[in-house]
Structure 1
Amino acid sequence: MTDSGAGGSGDKKDTEPLETPSPRAPSDGPAPGAESPTREFQFPPGVAAPGPPAAAANDIDGVRFDDSPAGGLLSGVRAPAVPDVPSPISARYLFPTEKYRGEWRRHWVHLMPWYIIGTLSTFIMGLASGMLTKWDNENRDTALSVTVIVWLLILGFVGWKILDWYMDRFILTNKRIMLIQGVITRSVAMMPLGRVTDMKYSQTPMGRMLNYGEFIIESAGQDQALRNVPHLPNPNELYLQMCEEMYEPEAVDERMAEPEEDLIPEEAPAVPAKSDGT
């Protein structure tokens, strides 16, 4: 008997070659463990398959999509649209050949100091009136009348500031930006977009919470009629719109010319009821 080592050869045995397994024919029956084969449901003749659910109108209200390759910086979901027609306050300052892009009033925080003055004056007037009614002095009625008159004058001045805020407009067209101020004495500051050399906006922590900012616009001229514009609402959207107007005016014109795409599909026709033959 001969032992074979690690590299030696042992006794030779005759082995039969293994047969290649034949492929199994596909079966129409269910797979093992499955209760029934998977089949596609067929609708009866004359009944149309239901389509995808229609999007709710309130879910896409105010949303507009732009799939054009020249959509500009504001492609995709857009910011709330501005009025297509200028207000009577700003229409008188536009000439026929320029294209109106929008107008904005200052943020309501611009009136915050006057709100505080009106509230404090009302509180002080009430406190002073209560103290004056306790006086046993012949000048009490006069002092009370003077207090009320001063309070009414302060409220009238606050109302004037609110009217001034309402009349002010920041206007953007395809050729220039304008700032209109004043009620009786009007001031109209204008700067062509072609002369804007630098523009930025800044937001304080309060401005970021309430969504307002201050715009600082630089031009090539020495004397600038329009430079600092504080308390403008939605500064980021306004900044992008102004930049697009300066650098991609063709894209803006193309987008304005396109009609809005209808995102709500028409209602599907009613499915007729199946007759049972009786």
Structure 2
Amino acid sequence: MGYPPEPPEPDDDEGRRRERDTEPIARDRPGQGGGDDPSSPYGRDSGGYPAAGGGGDGYPDEPVERTTWVYDQETDFISEEELAGLRAEAGTPLATRRVLPLEDEPSTLVARYLFPTERYRGEWKRHWIHLTTPILVGVIATFVLGYLSGFLAGRDSGALTTAAVLLWFGIMGWVAWKIADWWYDRFILTNKRVMVVNGIITRKVAMMPLTRVTDMKYEQSPTGRALNYGTFVLESAGQEQALREIKNLPNPNELYLRVVEEMYEPQAVEARLGKEADEAKSDDGA
């Protein structure tokens, strides 16, 4: 009767590594108190495994193989090319927006509405899309009334020409009023509340404490996504509030992160501001 053939030599790296990483261990006999005593025949070796033993207690006399799993740097390492595929370039839709630095001081327009114990977090004018209607009206009025006044002037209609010019001045005055109203219209965030301040002659101030905000969302139309503006909706426990919907706010994702962080992680905001202040002082000292 012939002997069984010898196992073939491993011809791959996995087989050689598995053969290299196996070592014999032995089982301890039950009921023996060898412990960690090296002099005991049933003690434990320096690696914490039972020492060799044998006998008729049901345990094999031959050692048992133990497989050690080893991290293979060559096969498990992520290359720089693979990491590059996971990184999103700045400006791409997959890129994560970072929270922009906070302004240091409020403008004179906003400072009068803040009390000393609250901390200013930022102010925002509405997106320029808010001026679309006034600008379009002004452009159309300029072309139409300009053509009309020239046409009437050629027919020696002085009164009608003057009326057309005065009408154009009236429309452009209305456009300028809308632009000024847009400039003074601010959305304000502090560590205690959100506010909207608007109006030139009649000032309106609406506010809501952050502790009262139970739900907040922002909506973006396809145009809003393309031009980066949106509408914020704030809910406050089903009650009527002075500040609920704010339209045409710029950078809605950035603003959303600001408000949510201020509501749920105020300590993180304080820590970041403290770090930025320390860095600014070190730069000034240098």
Aligned: 1:88 with 2:105: no
Q: Is the 8 A contact 2:212 2:237 kept in 1?
A: yes
- SS at 2:99 equivalent: coil
RMSD, matched Cα: 2.2
Residue 129 of structure 2 corresponds to 109
Q: CA deviation at 1:260?
A: 6.2
Q: Is the 8 A contact 1:106 1:231 kept in 2?
A: yes
Distance 1:84 1:234 in 2: 19
Aligned: 1:247 with 2:264: yes
Return closer, same or farther for 1:114/1:77 CA change in 2, 3 Å cut-off.
closer
Q: CA deviation at 1:129?
A: 1.2
Residue 234 of structure 1 corresponds to 251
Q: Counterpart amino acid of 2:177? A: W
- SS at 1:123 equivalent: helix
Gaps of 5+ in 1: 1-6, 9-75, 267-278
Q: Deviations over 1:203-232 (max 9, x none)?
A: 011111111000001112522100110110
Q: Counterpart amino acid of 2:134? A: W
Identity of aligned residues (%): 56
Q: CA deviation at 1:251?
A: 1.2
Aligned length: 189
Moved more, 126-135 or 113-122: 126-135
Q: Counterpart amino acid of 1:91? A: A
Residue 150 of structure 1 corresponds to 167
Name which of 91, 96, 99 aligns with 1:79: 99
Q: Is the 8 A contact 1:115 1:158 kept in 2?
A: yes
Aligned: 1:122 with 2:160: no
Q: Which has the higher contact order (CA 8 A, sep 6+)?
A: 1
Q: Deviations over 1:231-252 (max 9, x none)?
A: 1000001101100100111111
Gaps of 5+ in 2: 3-95
Q: Is the 8 A contact 1:82 1:103 kept in 2?
A: no
Q: Is the 8 A contact 2:185 2:198 kept in 1?
A: yes
Provide TM-score, normalisation by structure 1: 0.64
Return closer, same or farther for 1:92/1:153 CA change in 2, 3 Å cut-off.
same
Residue 173 of structure 1 corresponds to 190
Report matched runs for 1:1-278 at 5 Å: 78-136=98-156, 140-220=157-237, 222-259=239-276
- SS at 2:106 equivalent: coil
Provide TM-score, normalisation by structure 2: 0.62
